[in-house]
Amino acid sequence: MNLIPALASLWFRRAIFQSAEAMTAIGEGAGEVTSIVNVAEVPPEPVIVDLRDRLPSNGQYPLRTSVPMTLVVHHTASPEKQDWGTIADFHIRVNKWKAIGYAFGTSWDGKRFILNDPKRRQNQTRNNNSTTIGLVMLGNFHTKTIGEAQVKATKDYARHLQKTYGYKYIRPHRDLVATACPGDYAVDQLRDLWVRP
């Protein structure tokens, strides 16, 4: 007997939450409505996929002795829908690295990835690996523009990582070594992201 009223109450609360507009009372007087937010328009939390233990590896990189100062932005220079496992395998077989060279990544559909343990030094910026850490975008942005979802994901993720880990700078790979990476389009499209010394 108690089940029907309980279910009706649950349905009613769910219906109100899903269709109602949430109001906030912020202002001088109690109960004064200063803004209205449609709950349906609140964006979902970004998806962060942790691949640290799921990508090919040939051991682990050494632990860092200090926090990197610079988050370096790369592109894979591959098709945008390339899979992370293939990139990790290339880094192991061809480059003879322990694992994929980057700690973080973004994809064309706006997803964010943890590719490697950020507490470990990886191979991603020659002669600078102890003072830098890598965020890589799937795709080749020397030949085409970055899609809107990936631009947003890369900017938001880079700023989140900077705040979380205390990275002082955010720079394109080409700032540190002679390379086209992360591509001319990326350097231009992310120009408001760069934090240089």
For the stretch 68-104, pLDDT in tens is 999 999 999 999 999 999 999 999 999 999 999 999 9
pLDDT-derived band at 18, boundaries 50, 70, 90:
very low
Residue pointed to by tokens 């769910």: 14
What are the pLDDT digits (tens) for 131-158?
Answer: 999 999 999 999 999 999 999 999 999 9
Residue pointed to by tokens 């709950």: 39
Residue type, 26: I
Residue extents of the structural domains in the chain:
3-41, 48-189
User: In whole angstroms, what is the distance from residue 169 CA to residue 162 CA?
Assistant: 8
In CATH terms, is domain 48-189 a member of 3.40.80.10?
Answer: yes
CB 154 within 8 A of CB 115: no
The residue ranges of DSSP E strands in the chain, in sequence order, are: 21-24, 35-38, 48-50, 70-75, 104-106, 112-114, 132-137, 169-172
What are the pLDDT digits (tens) for 165-184?
Answer: 999 999 999 999 999 999 99
Pairing verdict, β 21-24 and 35-38:
antiparallel
Which pLDDT score is estimated for 38? 64
Which pLDDT score is estimated for 46? 81
- What mean pLDDT do residues 47-74 have? 95
- pTM above the 0.85 mark? no
| CB within 8 Å of 184: residues ≥ 6 apart | 141, 142
